[in-house]
Amino acid sequence: MTKFQNADYLKSQQYAGADKLAARIRLHERFSTNTVHVHRWEFDRILAALPVDAKVLEVGAGRGDLWVENKDRIPSGWHIALSDLSAGMLEDCKKHLGMELASRFSFEIMDVQSIPYSDASFDAVIANYMLYHVPDLPKAVAEIRRVLKPNGVLFAMTNGINHINELDTFMKRVRFIDSEGYGLMNVRDAFTTQNGAEKLRTQFDDVQLEMFDTALRVTELPPLMDYIASSLDDPDNRMQSPLALALWRELEQRIAEDGAIHITKETGLFTARCTTR
Ligand SMILES: C[S@@+](CC[C@H](N)C(=O)[O-])C[C@H]1O[C@@H](n2cnc3c(N)ncnc32)[C@H](O)[C@@H]1O
């Protein structure tokens, strides 16, 4: 198991609070080529699929960005529970939502591998960019299916194996990272856009994937370096090292030559339904 699927590491370091996640979200929000926010795009699809009086559970909700981005159009009849493995993340989620918006939700610390709700409780479960962290994915998918009502829907966004590939290449070129690679998609057998349908079909008989067309065109280095630092164990040392300087120069040269650093994004939404019980 890698650190990105180790609950202790995730709770105590990577997601102890929202700071590291925020650095990554900032880069995507500033430099994505698609001007529509991915959570607005996703919410169009969630709204179209659900009744006006739905019961909704979000697992691995992070800072609650889905709801912040769509606060103007959350149906008043929805009952929404936001949950996360990390208590610190959930506290930062409440802050990010602000008091008024937070009052619309209930909050629960929980591991998606063991959901503390009875069978058939929800019309929808949302699991965005979190199933790749789960060590026992079959257990998590079975739990999600268990708490969904008949005809309930799972919405799960995830990345593909080519996501931010160029970043890996730049970092390897200057030996900032070794051959193991950087980031979440190096988790072996993680939940990706390539293999997700197969993993969901063990519990859901109707699984669809829709890709979100976007990329990164980065024109400033500090937010990119913050993004890189956000996944490191010892960012203070690593980002002061000569290798970090070599990486900065490499990236600076890309901007000087090409006007921007072009980075592939590969991201999509799975919609999964169980039409039988
Ligand atoms: C990359 S963040 C995504 C946050 C949010 N869904 C979003 O799209 O912005 C992953 C989140 O999943 C949570 N997480 C990781 N493993 C989990 C698990 N086994 N059960 C529940 N949440 C988990 C982390 O604490 C973190 O907040």
- Decide: 261 and 234 in contact? Cβ < 8 Å: no
Cα(50) to centroid(ligand 1), Å:
23
Determine the straight-line distance between the first and last CA of the chain, rounded to whole angstroms: 32
Cα(17) to centroid(ligand 1), Å:
11
- Ligand 1 atom index nearest CA of 84: 22
Give, for all 277 residues of the chain, the pLDDT tens digit.
Answer: 678 899 999 999 899 999 999 999 999 999 999 999 999 999 999 999 999 999 999 999 999 999 999 999 999 999 999 999 999 999 999 999 999 999 999 999 999 999 999 999 999 999 999 999 999 999 999 999 999 999 999 999 999 999 998 988 888 888 888 766 666 556 667 999 999 999 999 999 999 999 999 999 999 999 999 999 998 888 888 899 999 999 999 999 999 999 999 999 999 999 999 887 6
10 lines ligand 1 (CB under 6 A): yes
84 lines ligand 1 (CB under 6 A): yes
pTM value > 0.85: yes
Q: Which of 76, 84, 25 is nearest to 47 (CA)?
A: 76
135's tokens: 């060590």
Which residue, judged by its Cα, is nearest atom 11 of ligand 1?
60
The rounded distance, in Å, linking the Cα atoms of 164 and 264 is 5
